[in-house]
Structure 1
Amino acid sequence: MELVKKIELLIEKYFAAETTVAEEQELRNYFSQTDVAPHLQAYQPMFVYFSTEQQESYSKTVSLKPRRKKYLAWISVAAMIAIVVSVWVANPFQPNNLGTYEDPEIAFQETQKALEFLSANLNLGIEEIGHLKEFEQAKNKILKNN
């Protein structure tokens, strides 16, 4: 009876992804026996399957030859052409327009606007990094290494 309680606790831990390799081996050993508690027999095929499939192996050799990716070079060339064309279309040969202001007050106000815009976007980026950290923590809980 004590063994059955221990197995029930291990099953709960197993489905919560909190078991160790030794505990999982104990579960496989228990369910490979013929005398399993009646209310736990539903789990027996799963653990027996895991035990038998663990013994299988792939015997053929796998060649890991790197493939040359010629299309990547062309993608980078196309990207550079797109950047050059977009810069030329946005600012076609305007040497006199240097983006300077005659009035220092207007220059100061425009600089403040630009820095506020930059600050707002940086704050959004910092929030996104926080979301990425939360995602990373959740992923590590799900894909826990044993």
Structure 2
Amino acid sequence: MMKIFEIEKLIADFYEGKTSVEQEKELKLFFETQDVPPHLMAEKRVFLEMFFDDNEIEIPPHLEQKLSNQIDSWAEKENRTKLHQSRRIKSWYFISGIAASVCLILGIALYRPDKQEKTVLTDTYTNPQDAYRETQKALLLVSNNLNKGMNQMEHAEKDVKKVNAIINKQLYQ
């Protein structure tokens, strides 16, 4: 015969889903055969009537067919919705394609190279020595800026190597 505190612990375990089938049978046997204390009468009703009712539930006739029909109708409705959405998306693609074509045609029609002014390239220096000096100045400016950029890249590369070394050290320790 189980003691009341053991039954109370089993009931708590049952509600937490921690009981085995054997323990649940013990609870059923306790509530069927023992004098149940007043504070456990509500539990007796729950265990004997709700959880361990041996009477089979009567299933209405054609319930399976009705459920199957309902599921089929839901699936059909979902398929119609997906079909409608795919048609809507295709129509938007079609409309946007037409709009893009119209924009392209308008752009081509409005841009007409024969209406634009033709620019004629001419020499800016009449003296070749002046042109040579100006070209040297421009190339020197480009060279200086490129060297500055390369120096910054070297410093950045050193910093990246330091960070990689720290990361590798931390990862492989």
What TM-score, normalized by structure 1, do the two folds share?
0.49
Q: Between Structure 1 and Structure 2, whose CA radius of gyration is higher?
A: 2
What TM-score, normalized by structure 2, do the two folds share?
0.43
| Structure with greater helix percent | 2
Higher RCO structure, 1 or 2 (CA under 8 Å, sep 6+): 1
